[in-house]
Each structure stands twice: as structure tokens, then as C-alpha cells.
Amino acid sequence: NAGVMQNPRHLVRRRGQEARLRCSPMKGHSHVYWYRQLPEEGLKFMVYLQKENIIDESGMPKERFSAEFPKEGPSILRIQQVVRGDSAAYFCASSSQGGNGYTFGSGTRLTVV
Amino acid sequence: GQQLNQSPQSMFIQEGEDVSMNCTSSSIFNTWLWYKQEPGEGPVLLIALYKAGELTSNGRLTAQFGITRKDSFLNISASIPSDVGIYFCAGQLMGSSNTGKLIFGQGTTLQVKP
């Protein structure tokens, strides 16, 4: 019974490139959450998705960031034209129903050089 | 925006000592959660609290949901070296239960000297 799987674990991108972060929720989970963690800080909510729908994107930057959770396949967090300030750990969590009983993945550490 | 103030920021203690950390806010929460994060990993849930005044234990860990709904504390008794890590409080604001969105504290870094 695999947990929340995120890949890649580490991602290095040059400024201006695109970053695509993948999250496969736990089996049977249809709710996915993305959080960002800057060094020495707590996690900050970005977006909440349920299969094919964005439920709450109040934490997403207005530009360059997008998220999807298609009917088939993993959830994707996409960052276009990355800048140094995007360097952070990005965590995904999933649950079987809305609410806070969710499990976090091990995260993707994005470094923009 | 909503904010959780977590203290202390860091602690360096001797093995066997008890540890206490807390979170406060000016906002009212309907859920308080305590997580532990180890280097290179995601947060792992330790204790969940759902009712004001609730006191819950998980082994050597004890946490309470403040009666005002604006604070929570976590105690660790008889610390051991594997307790090392960063502890985060997280809360869900009243009225946001249908989204599951959590607000995290800044974390307490715990180091234990054998």
C-alpha cells in the first residue's frame, strides 16, 4: 500500500525554464493538496484539487504557477519561467475525502540556478 | 493573513528531559494538528485534536486543544535521540472544514544530546 509518491525528489532548473512536479496520491484518494516550504519555514498552502477540478487555489501565485489533477494519471504542479525565488520544497498530500486527515509525500526539492 | 505563532523556535536538550512547545493565534481554529518532519522528508502526523479542551496522548507525546480554540501545546516526555527533528503545529480555521486547507506554524527544531 504505497504512500503518496512524488517525483522527482530533486529538480534543478535554470532561470526561465519550466518545472513540472508530479504527485501520485495514495490508492483510492481523489483529493490532492500542494504546499510549498521555503528554507527554515513552515509549509504554505498552495492549491487543493479533486479529480479534474480545482477546489481552492487561494495560495497559488497569480502568474507562472498552475496545477492539474486529470482523470487519469498524477497531479502536476507546473511552474513556468522559474526564478530563483521559486527554489523550495514542494509537498503533495492526499486524502480519500475533503478534510485534514491527509498524508504527505516526501516532497520535491526544486533548485533554480 | 492568518498566522500561527509557534515557540520556541529551537530547543537543545539533554536526553531524558521533557519538552514543551506551543502555538498561538489570533484566529479561531476547529482543528489542531502536530507534525514531525525529519531532514529530506515530508511532515508526519503525530497527534490530531478536534475539540476545544481535548487532551490527547500518543505514547510519550501529549497535546491539548486550547479552550479558546486559539492555541495548542505539545509535550514530549523523557526525550530520546530519535525525537530529533522539526515539529510543526498546523490548524484548520473555523469555516474552512470543507477544504482541508491547513495553516502551519514556523516550526520548533529539537535537538537531543545523548
Mean pLDDT of B59-79: 96
Q: What type of residue sits at position B92?
A: Q
Distances (CA, A) of A104 to B46, B53, B55, B98: 13, 27, 24, 19
Q: Over 80: is that where the pLDDT of B95 sits?
A: no
Three-state secondary structure call for residue A92: strand
Cβ of B106 within 8 Å of Cβ of A41? The answer is yes
Mean pLDDT of A46-62: 93
How is A4-64 classified by DSSP, letter by letter? -EEE-SEEEE-TT--EEEEEEPPTT--EEEEEEE-TTS-EEEEEEEETTEEEE-TTS-SSS
Residues of chain B found within 8 Å of residue A100, distances taken between Cβ atoms:
31, 33, 48, 90, 92, 100, 102
Q: Over 70: is that where the pLDDT of B1 sits?
A: no
**CB neighbours of B35 closer than 8 A, spacing ≥ 6?**
B43, B44, B45, B46, B87, B88, B89, B90
Give per-residue pLDDT as tens, A39-50: 888 899 999 999
For residue B42, the distance in angstroms to the closest alpha carbon of chain A comes to 4
Hey, what's the cell of A29? 484518494
Q: Over 60: is that where the pLDDT of A53 sits?
A: yes
**Position B93 confidence tier, pLDDT thresholds 50, 70, 90:** confident
Cβ of A106 within 8 Å of Cβ of B40? The answer is yes
The per-residue pLDDT for A99 is 65
CA distance B35 to A42: 11
CA distance B36 to B86: 6
Contact call for residues B106 and B6 (beta carbons, < 8 A)? yes
Give per-residue pLDDT as tens, A29-38: 899 999 999 9
The per-residue pLDDT for A41 is 86
Which residues make beta-bridge pairs with B109?
A: B10, B86
- Name which of B20, B19, B25 is nearest B3 in CA terms: B25
Q: Over 90: is that where the pLDDT of A6 sits?
A: yes
**Position B52 confidence tier, pLDDT thresholds 50, 70, 90:** very high
Q: Over 80: is that where the pLDDT of B31 sits?
A: yes
The per-residue pLDDT for B41 is 93
